[in-house]
Structure 1
């Protein structure tokens, strides 16, 4: 059975107008004849789907970016990312001390 995959390309950031994340549509696990047919008219499919291009393969093509890591039970892994605020705290404390000193000088 054929599979459809999306290969995201780098995002295009624009000053004016919306940002765009272009992609390539990858179709794999199709029969030899179907792959040959699709290879003859990829621009038509790309135009209809909004893809930059369409790639079609009769064999399996795995896109590493589309893989979801799973835990031992087979559920998707969840990551929690916490920022390191240690430098931020130091900067805030320095600014508070600086502002306090300026305030003390102004009061005298």
Structure 2
């Protein structure tokens, strides 16, 4: 049975939501008889137009198994998912915000003169 995975892509400056690629693996193509007049079964692409419908950048389809390392969930010795809590270091961020505020205030003062 086919599997569906999502490969997240780096976000660009103009992206309003994170870009991704839909990856389908273990897919077995099927042939369909579309009507009583069809002499030969035809291969239909069920993924045609799917990227536009779901908002993906692309849809990649493979017959083989494809493992995306980013989708692997680390587990502890008991088999439970490992959860990490990451706290950001906001010292540098605060300094950047202060510098931007000071620049905006200086620009405003310069514009009022």
Instruction: Provide TM-score, normalisation by structure 1.
Output: 0.60
Question: Does residue 34 of structure 2 align to residue 29 of structure 1?
Answer: no
* Contact in 2 for aligned 1:42/1:53 (Cα 8 Å): no
Q: Which ranges in structure 2 are unaligned for 5 or more consecutive residues?
A: 32-42, 92-113
Q: Which ranges in structure 1 are unaligned for 5 or more consecutive residues?
A: 89-108
Cα deviation, 1:10-36, whole Å, max 9, x if unaligned, reads: 11234xxx63311110001111447x7
Structure 2 partner of 1:56: 61
Q: Which has the higher helix share?
A: 1
Count of aligned residue pairs for this structure pair: 80
Quote the RMSD (CA, aligned, Å).
2.6
The whole-number CA distance in structure 1 between the counterparts of 2:80 and 2:62 is 29
Q: Which one has a bigger Cα radius of gyration?
A: 1
The whole-number CA distance in structure 2 between the counterparts of 1:83 and 1:23 is 25
